[in-house]
Amino acid sequence: MKTSEIAKIIGAEIPQDLDDLNIDGLKSPESANESDIVFLSNPKLRDSIESSRAKVVIVKKGTSISGKICLEVEDPYLGYAKVAQLFENTSSLFTDGISPYAIIDPDAVIDKSVSIGPGSVIGKDVHIGAGCKIGANCVIEKGTRIGSSCRIDSGAVIRWETSIGNNVIIQSGVVIGSDGFGNAREGSKYVRIPCFGNVVIEDGVEIGANTTIDRGNLEPTLIGKGVKIDNLVHIAHNVIVGEDTAIVAQVGISGSTVIGKRVILAGQAGCVGHIEIGDDAFVGAKAGISKSVPVRGKVTGYPARDFMTMRRIEAAQSSLPDLLKEVKRLKDEILKLKRLDT
């Protein structure tokens, strides 16, 4: 790929009077060759860029590096993300077409361009759109609908009547459409509540390894367009996740919680059920969310409180040893004054 093509994609201009080089890949500064491209988003790494063999580097606007062709952009990390996609290996991991060792129900409707790895099982009345790549030992149960250009990695389980949009990535070990945790009490025993809803995954969603998304009780569990979900996340029944929200590893979301658009849920945060988290909210790592969070709210801590309040509390905690010493000193002085009075 030519430098000029990459520059156009990331919105940069090639400096005048310089060669339009062939670029073979994107690598770290330490391992890059002359035909690779690198990026500089952290000024602390400038020395490694300067000593790299790479000739082309993505930099922030206004940055120049001697001896390098600098592609200047507003956000080098975003430029890196776009270039990385250009060099991603998207070929089938096992075979083009359907492996002879896959089990396909005769009533399944599968586009001719789909690849399916060995050991995968495709159920009755499943529809799979063009350009999908399904790994080995996947299970896709009856009535499931999958759009075009989806990637379902080995070992994923997609349960009955799940609806998946276009350009969705589902990594290994994901389980979509498992029963929600619904039980009623009868004396000291539990009575199971079956789930009649399904899971709806909209376009452009990415779901990390070993994440589980439960089907709804009566209505669907909904994951909106562009949502990015990390590994080891649990999303319970009837949860709604708004568009372009990011959910980081080990987050747990209880049933019937509504997450707004463009929300960030940091690692190991946990939400009780039946609350709402407003659009553009931020939830810090390990936060325990016991009540609704307003639009653009920022909370952290356990239990979760306003972000800046928690930062002041944490700052004060670091001063506690000195405060205790001061309290002890003042207490001793008070005792001495009392003795003098007597």
Please give the single-letter amino acid code of residue 235.
I
Which residue among 127, 234, 237, 274 is the active-site one? 237
DSSP 11-27: T--PPTT----B--EE-
212 contact partners, CB below 8 Å, separation of at least 6: 174, 175, 176, 178, 233, 234, 235
Residue 305 phi/psi, 5° resolution? -135, 175
The structure tokens listed for 197 are 């809803």
* Cα-based distances in Å from 269 to 20, 225, 301: 47, 22, 9
* Residue 237 annotated to the active site: yes
The torsion defined by the Cα of 46, 50, 54 and 59, in degrees rounded to 10, comes to: 40
Please give the single-letter amino acid code of residue 97.
G
- Secondary structure of 172-195 in the HEC alphabet? CCCEEEECCCCEEEECCEEEECCC
| 271 secondary structure, DSSP code | E
* Cα-based distances in Å from 56 to 52, 233, 325: 10, 38, 58
Tokens 């003042």 -> residue: 330
The structure tokens listed for 301 are 């801590």
Cβ–Cβ < 8 Å for 82, 65 = no
Residue 235 phi/psi, 5° resolution? -115, 120
Query: Other CB atoms closer than 10 Å to residue 272's CB: what's the count?
Result: 15
CA distance 133 to 113: 9
Strand, helix or coil for residue 170 = strand
Tokens 């790895």 -> residue: 117
Q: Which residues are catalytic?
A: 237
